Structures are given as C-alpha cells and as structure tokens.
Structure 1
Amino acid sequence: GGDPPPPGPRCPPVPPQQDAQRPPPRQMQPQPPAGSASRPPPRPSQPAPSQPDPTPAPPPREDRAAFLRDGKCRFFVVHVRNRRDLNQAFSTCQWPTNVSSRMKLNEAFSTVKNVLLVFVDISNQALAGVARMEGAISKQRAMIARRPGAASGSTIPLKWISKDSLPSSESGKLVNKWNNNKPLCQSRDGQEVDTESGEAAVRSLL
C-alpha cells in the first residue's frame, strides 16, 4: 500500500451562460385566414355624434298690461288727424299738444303713476294706438310739424304700449261714461275717459 498520488490541478468551474447572450425566441406572426388577404383592416370606431342641445324655450312674453295693475291709471283721448303725424310719433316718441291739454295732462301726471293716451283716428273713428306718458310736458318748441291751429309747441314724451289699431266696427262698442256714454272715439281731443272704459280700450289693443 503506497501513498496516494498527489491531487492534480483543479479545473475552474464553468460559469453559467448569460441570458443576454441567448438569442430571443423567434416570434411567430399570425397568419390571416384564407380568403382574407384583400380585406382592409377594420376602421377604428368613431364616437357617436353629439346630439344638439334641445331648442331653448322662448322667453316669457312680456305682459304689456302689467302697468294696469301697478297702480292707479288715468286715460285720455288724443286725436290723430293724419297718418303721417302718427307714423312720426311712432319713431320719435313725441306728440305735439296744445296749452289746454298740456295743463290737463301735467296735472294728471302729478297725481298717478300711469297716464295712458288712447289715440283715435278721427277720419275713420278707429283706435290707432296707445302710449304711456313718460314725463311732464315742457314748453319747449316742438321739432315735429304741428297741425294748423295748434296753440303750443309743447310735445308729450311717450312710451308706446301698442301701435296696433282697432277698426271702428270694434271700437264703436267702447263708450266713455264721462261723455254721456257716447262712443269713446267721439270724445274730444284731450278728454279724460273713465277708468273702466279706458282699461277696456287699452286691452283691446294688446
């Protein structure tokens, strides 16, 4: 039994193979089914068109008769002698008046909130519009043509409530109790009308 031979030199351990050096596995491309080679790719879905907002509700109609409930009103007849003067008043919101009517209307304007003027076309006995007196009548000279015989250059500042007309067949049903119950359209220029008849005349034009 002799001694065992001395051990020889050891081999260094083999390092493990790095994954980075390993080529990635080959990806298999899916094959399109038969007969679909000419089919275009599906288009991306489009979002549904937004629905337009519903039409907004119209604003509430202005209550043009509200002033009749705001406070006491007084009503006066104004004679219209020709359509030209009336059309001019529609655009200027001024109406020429005489001294007698100016004093009467200014007195009324100082006592009530609403002084309403019912315009009467004396050529056909029809109502021709209604306006509210917007201020006291001054003595300044009128800038619009006055009818012959008018004694003053004063004008009435107006706010038109209605520019509509009412034919004599309808206006003839309205009377003025303060003029012996005669038809309202037969009242004198500047004559006051009782409250009930005045309101009826105004409402007939709204």
Structure 2
Amino acid sequence: KHGKTHQGTFDLSYLALIPNLSIAAPRDENELQHLLYTAVNSGQAMAIRYPRGPGLGVPLDTILHKIPMGKWEVMREGRDVAILAVGVTVAPALEAAHELAASGIKAAVVNARFVKPLDVELITSLVHRIPRLVTVEENTLSGGFGSSVARLLQDLGLGKIPAKIIGIPDEFVEQGSQAALRARYGLDAKGIARQVLSMFPGNKASERSAREGEIKPVR
C-alpha cells in the first residue's frame, strides 16, 4: 500500500507536457519488454509507465521486436461502444466487455499502449463506425489520456460523439490495496462495465447498475 502522496496518479498528465517525449504504458509484462526494446532502439526520448507489484503471469517472448510508435492494438471487436484502455486497465476492460455482452452490448476494446502520440488513424476509424467512446486510465482525469483524446476529437471535428472518461477524480487517493482502490474508483471490471452501461439508459442492466454504483470508502 502507498499513502496519499505516493499513488502515482499524475505522471501521465505531467509527462504529456514535455515536448518530443513519447509515453507508453504496457498492458502486461510481455508487452513491457517489447516497449523497452522499442525505446532503446527508437533514438528518441520515451517514458514507459507501469505499476508496482507482480505482472499478470503471461508467457514472455524470447525474441523482442519494435512496436510501431503511436500504434495501438485492437483486442476485441464491437459495434456499440469502443473502450480505449491504457496499461493495466486493458485486462479489466476486456472482462468488462465480456460482462457487457451479457446485456446485449458489443464493446470493442483497444490497447491504447501509446498515450503520446495518439493513434489518430485508429481513433478516426473507430469514431466513424462505433457510436460511443470510453477511455480508461489509472491517472487523474485532469490532463490525462482521456483529456488528450477529447482534445483530438475536437480538433478533428468529431467532438459530438457521446464519450466518457474513466479515471481518478481531482483528489489525492487515500491509502488502500490496489484492488480496493480500483473498485472504489470504478477501474475494475465491474466498475468499467457499470460506467459503460450508463451510456445505454434504456438498458435494464444499466438501471440496476446505476443503483449499485455509488463510490464507497475503502475498508
């Protein structure tokens, strides 16, 4: 557990202010090693953001390769909503998509492994064929990944798409286990699914989820 001043919820925001600095966040330990290889061989400044603690236990590739700079990865196809997830939020976003499918909602999930630069080509493609957009990040909402995506959509003239930014509110995060804090701020699978459901007000599961969705203190 970390205290209020050591939760690491601001780094994507302040790093994004640095010119010519690329920012990446791997979804697991295997992608981390490929991003490290990419950074070493890129010839440019690059920050890689990953959490403390153990990985997910995925197999590690023995041959490393460069990941194209600024290119994301579509993990799951869908037609009703696109979830752009950063770093360790990819796994719960995929779980949330599975839960949403039980309510008849087909969610696309994207591994937004580069926070800067954004994958403009993929975002544009998604917005033109999927009517709702959600971003998920373990970072403050102020100046984070979701804010960058929202600004890009405005610049592209696509700002009217219904969108939701899921992240940490403008406050210091209290002490607690990672699991408890993710549940508190809606960053676990259940919380992500609940917030996506709120974009579908006619759905019965959405109404039930809204009643259960109040933020509660960490125990």
Which TM-score applies when normalising by structure 2? 0.25
Bigger Rg over Cα: 1
Q: TM-score, normalised by structure 1?
A: 0.26
Q: Which has a greater percent of helix?
A: 2
